[in-house]
Structure 1
Amino acid sequence: MSFTNQEKFVDHPRRWALRGDLLDFTAAPAWGDTTPAAVRFDPDHWLLIEDGRIVGRQAETPDDSWVRKDHAGQLVLPGFIDTHVHCPQLEVIASYGTELLDWLQRYTFPAERAFADPARSRAGAEVFLDALLASGTTAAVVFPTVHKVSAEALFESAAARGMRLITGKVLMDRHAPDGLRDDVAQAERDCIDLIDRYHGQGRLGYAVTVRFAPTSTPEQLAMAGALCRADASLYMQTHVAENRAEVAWVGELFPQARSYLDVYDAVGLLHPRAVLAHGIYLDDADRRVMVERGAQIAHCPSSNLFLGSGLFDWPGAPFAVSLASDVGGGTTLSLPRNMGDAYKVQALRGERLTAWAALHAATRGAAQALQLGHEIGGLSVGQVADLCVWDWAVGPVAQARDAVVRELHERVFAWMTLADERNLAACYVAGRPQR
């Protein structure tokens, strides 16, 4: 990397240009297609950025009125969008020997209880968001804890970085230990206060956050649904059909429901801004409901493999699918590494995930599913300059592989499989350098 004129690159120049191999999407690639027209690849081009937004892309070197940042020979992508991740679980990542329900009791709940302390929440939010950026993730849908202060800390820390962040206080009024339960009335007051203070402020969005059906009473689920119905601009995030034992437990707790997904649908939690993590054990009727409501599944391949939850049927999904790390059940915040795990999940099902489908789900596809395609997920004129620059290959193995690639998909697939946060050369949020 080097500057190509005499003007020093400062923290946030009003007008600047970035040179590199620009890659994004103009549409969703078809499953299995390695040469889709939807891929837009402009090698050795310039991206023009003004006041934090993209204002052009061109082959010609911009004139000296632009501060120029030279990343020639490096891959320039939109910043990744992680649609399901847990801030307080960084400390329990890579914990041994459990499936989902045991994982919660042994590792997750003890870690989350500490976030009742405002100082702990603030410190946790700072470390977490810096770790996202260090992995090339510039926007995220995040679970904090049941504590109101944990959501406040995330909102404040994200605002300080200019990040697009969606989060909300976790709702959990049963089947959780002391220190991690709320009640319906207080939870509703907390949600309303957080919505009033943060939702739609800058790049922040509020998500009505139901941990999962077993940890909310029917009364709390009804309250959450009422919040969603009262304001269609709110998001909703939860878990669904991740693990067979979990699905069976939901059946025992909600015998009147046709399915796990039906528990949420019955109270109005499924809508076009609903993000449901996992969705491994959905039946055909559930899939139809997902399409009708416009909701999305956040696919969490690393977590599904690590916890032994199951294999998500991606090509059979008629609804939007985005990509997520689900740390700490997932073992990495790096979405390229999660793309590699997603390929392995589909390979175990006898399917082949292209680099294009994986990359689209972490960029343009996720942005559109969140109704944010006008803002993030691409390198188009008018979008916010959330972007990352990557080395195509780091280390002797990756470099040897990259030296013999024959076409673009092969190169991107090798990058997707072998890259991690070491490949990240630069990260920008709204045009501001983050590293």
Structure 2
Amino acid sequence: MTQPVAYRAAILYSLGDPARVGLDDSFVWHEDGVLVVADGHVQDVGPAPEVLDRLPAGTQVITLENRLITPGFIDTHIHFPQTEMIASYGDQLLDWLNNYTFPEERKFAEPAHAARVAGLFLDELLRNGTTTAMVFGTVHPQAVDAFFTESSRRNTRMIAGKVMMDRHAPDYLLDTPESSYADSKALIERWHKNGRQLYAVTPRFAPTSTAEQLTVAGRLMSEYDDLYMQTHLSENKQEIEWVKSLFPEQKGYLDVYDHFGLLGERSVFAHAVHLEQEESERMGETDSVISFCPTSNLFLGSGLFDLTSAEQHRIRVGLGTDVGAGTSFSMLQTINEAYKIQQLQQQKLHPLKAFYLATLGGAESLRLDDRLGNLQPGKEADFLVIDLHATPLMKARIQNAQTLFEKLFVLMMLGDDRAIAETHVYGECRHRRDVAN
């Protein structure tokens, strides 16, 4: 057993969804707290006087002034091959895919390119405080191998998969039902539950997969325990009409996935901006998951996600940056935009709900809340040290704040990667901000 290390600072973490358990019972807050970490796990946490009193003699105590310790952020939808095409101008979804995304993803046939971008991507996540993510690869199995290799080196908990895509894309990005099954199966055998790595069956979205390919996606899900499935759903109205024309025998977009056995507790559907009532009901019934991607939905002009409706249908919801249509790796910036989307619908996003979505809500969405998402003893020690005085404006505004809720709201409105002083992965510091920057 390694020697424990204790970190003394303000500490905040979620216990549950404020919409379900109530605001007052949804969080733990220690204005002066201590987090004790050993062997990659949280050993103890609580008010400083109590924890310090029971620490073994000689335990190293690191005091962090004007800092807030939180769990690591969890991103439930992001594309690592789109890292270097983020901020591509001027198109909505379908044109954006054809004009920017597909040409960029072609480069990932080259393993060296994939490894370089995967390293950049993972380091950028850590710089922004994200310690777990659900990640799209490309159609190339070698690119997914490169990604998992880089993630293993950092010991980050990642869920990723090879894109399955056998139509309606350039020839250089197409696979077949048979090759997508074989390649995915080989990657599952190599990487699923290998260390902290997990695998997601990944049909890009219904229009780019034939019925035969969606059938083999469902077959993979039935052949392995605890696999994930990730895809896109009802992001754009033009996309929805296209799906209906391609699958006229199904009742709608969600029913396509349902027909092929792709709904369930580890199935994560990005966007779901334009769900019909029956689709929301079906997602709740099957315990399927929505990844809410605010910056992407605004950037592509896709629409406004109805979080209140998802809550009413008891659908689990996580947050996704959706880089590269999303415009930031920062979960702080993502909850900033999520707040504004709710405002546009005359709804509110309380800061405690926002931080829940970025941490424990993501873990619950990914069925990882037994291991991740808050700082209770026994959980894996993925945590952040947030600098509440990261910029002169943040410092001034925080000092003018009267309550915890107000301080959190300032952080979610003004915070970005500069606020992430340290990112710890499985108890090891994997990013420390250069204060000169």
TM-score range, shorter chain: over 0.9
Q: Per-residue CA shift, 1:119-146, capped at 9, x if unaligned?
A: 0111111110000000000000000100
Equivalent residue, structure 2, for 1:127: 120
Moved more, 14-23 or 205-214: 14-23
Equivalent residue, structure 2, for 1:5: none
Instruction: Determine which of 265, 269, 275 is the counterpart of 1:272.
Output: 265
- 2:16 aligned with 1:20, yes or no? no
Q: How do residues 23-38 of structure 1 correspond to structure 2 at under 5 angstroms? A: 23-30=12-19, 35-38=23-26
Partners in 2 of 1:426 and 1:356 — Cα distance? Answer: 21
Q: What is the one-letter code of the residue matched to 2:362?
A: A
Kindly indicate whether the alpha-carbon contact (under 8 Å) linking 2:269 and 2:289 is maintained by their aligned counterparts in 1.
yes
Runs of 4+ in structure 1 deviating by more than 4 angstroms, as ranges, are none
SS at 2:19's partner residue?
A: coil
SS at 2:173's partner residue?
A: coil
Q: Which runs of 5+ in 1 are unaligned?
A: 1-11
Q: How do residues 286-305 of structure 1 correspond to structure 2 at under 5 angstroms? A: 286-305=279-298
Q: Per-residue CA shift, 1:304-356, capped at 9, x if unaligned?
A: 00110000000110201101100000000000000000001111111111111
Instruction: Determine which of 41, 47, 51 is the counterpart of 2:39.
Output: 51
Q: Per-residue CA shift, 1:234-270, capped at 9, x if unaligned?
A: 0000000000111111011111111101100000011
Q: How many residues align?
A: 423
Q: Per-residue CA shift, 1:394-429, capped at 9, x if unaligned?
A: 223222211111111111011111000001111100
User: Percent same amino acid at aligned positions?
Assistant: 43
Instruction: Determine which of 368, 375, 380 is the counterpart of 1:384.
Output: 380
Partners in 1 of 2:307 and 2:265 — Cα distance? Answer: 19
Q: TM-score, normalised by structure 1?
A: 0.95
Q: CA deviation at 1:201?
A: 1.1
Partners in 2 of 1:14 and 1:260 — Cα distance? Answer: 53
SS at 1:410's partner residue?
A: helix
Q: Which runs of 5+ in 2 are unaligned?
A: 432-437
Q: What is the one-letter code of the residue matched to 2:60?
A: V
Kindly indicate whether the alpha-carbon contact (under 8 Å) linking 1:31 and 1:354 is maintained by their aligned counterparts in 2.
no
Q: How do residues 181-330 of structure 1 correspond to structure 2 at under 5 angstroms? A: 181-317=174-310, 318=313, 319-330=315-326
Superposed CA RMSD in Å reads 1.4
Q: TM-score, normalised by structure 2?
A: 0.95
Partners in 1 of 2:184 and 2:308 — Cα distance? Answer: 36
Equivalent residue, structure 2, for 1:40: 28
Partners in 2 of 1:339 and 1:119 — Cα distance? Answer: 34
Instruction: Determine which of 91, 110, 115 is the counterpart of 2:108.
Output: 115
Q: What is the one-letter code of the residue matched to 1:23?
A: L
Q: CA deviation at 1:178?
A: 2.2
Kindly indicate whether the alpha-carbon contact (under 8 Å) linking 1:393 and 1:419 is maintained by their aligned counterparts in 2.
no
Partners in 1 of 2:21 and 2:404 — Cα distance? Answer: 15
SS at 1:316's partner residue?
A: helix
Kindly indicate whether the alpha-carbon contact (under 8 Å) linking 2:66 and 2:389 is maintained by their aligned counterparts in 1.
no
Partners in 2 of 1:255 and 1:323 — Cα distance? Answer: 31
Instruction: Determine which of 392, 399, 403 is the counterpart of 1:403.
Output: 399
Q: CA deviation at 1:67?
A: 2.3
Partners in 2 of 1:118 and 1:282 — Cα distance? Answer: 38
- 2:327 aligned with 1:346, yes or no? no
Kindly indicate whether the alpha-carbon contact (under 8 Å) linking 1:13 and 1:67 is maintained by their aligned counterparts in 2.
no
SS at 1:280's partner residue?
A: coil
Q: CA deviation at 1:37?
A: 2.0
Q: Which has the higher helix share?
A: 2
